[in-house]
Amino acid sequence: MSSIITSPSHAAFERTTTRWGSITLFIGFLIATSVPFYLLFVADANINFGEILKGFLAVFAVYGVFYIVEPLTYFPILGPAGMYQAFMIGNVSNKLLPSAIVAQDTIGAKPGTRKGEYAATMAICGAAIIHVASMVLFVGILGTWLVALIPEPITLVAKLYILPAILGGVTVQLIASLKQLKSTLIALGMAALVILVLVQLVPVLAPGDVAIVVFLTILITWFTRNKSVTDKKADTDGTDTVGIN
């Protein structure tokens, strides 16, 4: 009598990643937020709650907008499982997101599909392994000796241009793989309008320029979409199964 081998369903995958992702992310949250309380109640740091609150508000004023923008921006590409991984590991925009996009483009998986979600999850695993291995080698073993050998002009150029070069290449690759001309033009137009016009006229909006561009792009793209095409695509994706090819 032959045995039947069944593959885990996508629903089981989502349940497992949601359960363990929530647990591990919450543990990470507790560890990360415990430092101020340790300084306040345990360490002899000579600080008070007002100073801790002041420091938090200073950081929140600069980066608070990204608490909303980043999940909205990354979720369509990374999927739920990838989001848990990404926000636990960190370096999302300059390491994990490019890895996910390259993996999806390599196997021809569209962001927002099950195949794309699986590709992003595995790409993040690979990026994390490579990152840890390189940290052990170049920081733990070689350390400052290697840094001292690098000429200062090269170090300065790396600081100024490496991140923009990575993000620029990822942006171009994402545009080429998605092939959404209208959405791309809307995003580029909103970015130019906000950064070159709106922020110049109202400088106080500069810390939130990214959030403004993202929200305006989402709203305009949503209200100018072709409803018949998106509804048909949603029905197709809802019954889509993940393949290897």
Residue 133: inside a domain, yes or no?
Answer: yes
Residues 95 and 118 in one domain: yes
Q: 74-84 burial, b if ≥16 CB within 10 A, otherwise e?
A: beebbbebbbb
Do residues 114 and 187 make contact, with C-beta atoms less than 8 angstroms apart?
A: no
Does residue 231 lie in a domain region? no
Read off the pLDDT of each residue in 27-48 and give the average, rounded to a whole number. Answer: 85
Residues 46 and 110 in one domain: no
| Predicted local distance difference test score (pLDDT) of residue 228 | 67
Query: In total, how many domains does the chain have?
Result: 2
Is 176 part of any domain?
A: no
The reported pLDDT for the residue numbered 230 is 56
Q: How far apart are CA 109 and CA 188, in angstroms?
A: 24
What is the CA angle 170-171-172, rounded to 5?
Answer: 90
Residues 120-139 pLDDT 10s: 999 999 999 998 898 888 88
CA of residue 146 relative to chain centroid, distance: 30
Does pLDDT of 166 surpass 80? no
Specify whether the backbone of 169 is left (phi greater than 0), alpha (psi in -120 to 50) or beta. Answer: alpha
pLDDT of residue 245: 35
Higher pLDDT, 29 or 145: 29
Question: How is the chain split among helix, strand and coil, in percent rounded to 5?
Answer: 80, 0, 20
Q: Which range has the worst mean pLDDT, 10-24, 76-90, 98-112, 219-233?
A: 219-233
For residue 143, what are the domain limits? 67-151
Q: Is 79 in the same domain as 59?
A: no
**CB-CB contact of 177 with 101 (8 Å):** yes
Residue 135 counted as domain residue:
yes
**What's the pTM value of the predicted model, to 2 decimals?**
0.66
Q: Could you tell me if 108 and 127 lie in one domain?
A: yes
